[in-house]
Amino acid sequence: MNNRMVLWMKHNIFLECILGIYAVIFFSYPKIGIQAIYNSGYYIKEMLMIMPVIFILTALLDSFVPKEMILRTLGKEAKLKGVFFSFLLGSISAGPIYAAFPICTMLHKKGATIRNLIIIISSWAVVKIPMLINEAKFLGLKFMLVRWGLTILSILLFSFLAGLIVKDDDLPREKEEQKIGVTINRTACMGCTVCTKKYPELFEMDGKKARVKEVKEVEMERLLETISSCPVKAIDNAVSSIQNTTVYIDQ
């Protein structure tokens, strides 16, 4: 428990710094301190009103849209259908932009074009459906629609350009770490057994926490699916280990 405290403190240095600054400000300029609390209150109120639904909506989209089908199509086909599915995959998926990276690597191996990879990553970053509603709320429907339209046009254009500049050979070849890089963050794991049910060949229960079995080969697709279904995002695939240092999840 004590250990957990220390870990939490380590991961939230930014919050502690801010609270420290508040203490100093309140001591020396109480007026500014009160104004700051008042300002923060407004944003907290706004956040609490919209954030729970955004999370629920994102999780629902992520769990119920048949991604396997999209992934299969993307692997084979490149043309217009591929472009459309790339946008679709990016817009419905949950998680920060770097969560798209391992999926894109996998798709590239299966034959997806550079152009489609760029589309997936970019739309993953900006074209989030729940976020669009949020944008319309604070900046107006017209603002959101125009920005959204322009963004999609831009992505179409610059993904095409990127496809001309970057060739398939520019991407690194197979990496070994993908086979051995699976770890479980045991402080985050809450023992829900989702992973051991989804991928029993790789995960097993060790008391109340999950553990990675020693295996030679990992089926990337199943692994990624299992990672995304972990409710606490406790499974790390080496490439996503930055998660502990990157504090925010940009939707």
Partner 1 sequence: MDIFTLAVWILTGGLLLFFFQKDKRRTKDALKKAFFMGKGMAASIFAVIFAIGLLLAILPPATIASFIGKQNETLAMIAAAGFGTITLIPAFIAFPLIGTLRSAGVGIMPSVAFLTTLTMVGVVTFPLEKREFGRKFAITRNLLSFVFALVIAFVMGVVL
Residues within window 163-202 making contact with partner 1, judged by CB under 8 A: 165-166, 170-172, 188, 192, 194
21, 69, 180, 205: which one binds partner 1 (CB under 8 A): 21
* Residue 30 found at the interface with partner 1 (CB under 8 A): no
Nearest to 133 by CA among 143, 124, 125: 143
**Minimum CB separation from partner 1 for residue 114, in Å?**
7
Binding flag, residue 158, partner 1 (CB under 8 A) = yes
128 binds partner 1 (CB under 8 A): yes
* Footprint of partner 1 on 92-111 (CB under 8 A): 94, 96-98, 101-102, 104-105
Spatial separation of the C-alpha atoms in residues 120 and 103, rounded to whole Å: 10
Q: How far apart are CA 169 and CA 9, in angstroms?
A: 43
φ, ψ of residue 203 to 5 degrees: the values are: -115, 145
Looking at 79-87, 158-166, 199-207, 213-221, which segment touches partner 1 (CB under 8 A)? 158-166
Is 161 a binder of partner 1 (CB under 8 A)? yes
Round to whole Å and give the CA distance between 143 and 90.
Answer: 22
Q: Which stretch binds partner 1 (CB under 8 A): 65-73, 78-86, 203-211, 226-234?
A: 226-234
38 makes contact with partner 1 (CB under 8 A): yes
Buried b (16+ CB within 10 A) or exposed e, 47-58: eeeeeeebeebb
Selected binder of partner 1 within 23, 180, 215, 242 (CB under 8 A):
242
Is 131 a binder of partner 1 (CB under 8 A)? Answer: yes
Instruction: Using the minimum distance from each CB to partner 1, give the nearer residue, 71 or 131.
Output: 131
Does 23 participate in binding partner 1 (rule CB under 8 A)?
no
Contacts to partner 1 from residues 40-99, by CB under 8 A: 40-44, 46-47, 49-60, 62-64, 94, 96-98
Output the CA–CA distances (angstroms, integers) from residue 12 to 71, 178, 198, 247, in the order listed: 36, 29, 32, 8
Alpha-carbon distance of 170 to 182, in angstroms, equals: 26
**Residue appearing with tokens 């990672």:** 227
> 97-121 in b/e burial notation, b at 16+ Cβ within 10 A?
bbbbbbbbbbbbeeebbbbbbbbbb
Alpha carbon distance, N-terminus to C-terminus of the chain: 31
Task: Provide, rounded to whole angstroms, the least separation between the CB of residue 151 and partner 1.
Answer: 6
Q: Applying CB under 8 A, does 209 fall inside the site for partner 1?
A: no
Question: Smaller CB distance to partner 1: residue 70 or 99?
Answer: 99
* CB neighbourhood size of 148 (10 A): 16
User: Binding residue for partner 1 (CB under 8 A) from 20, 23, 30, 35?
Assistant: 35
User: Is residue 220 near partner 1 by the rule CB under 8 A?
Assistant: no
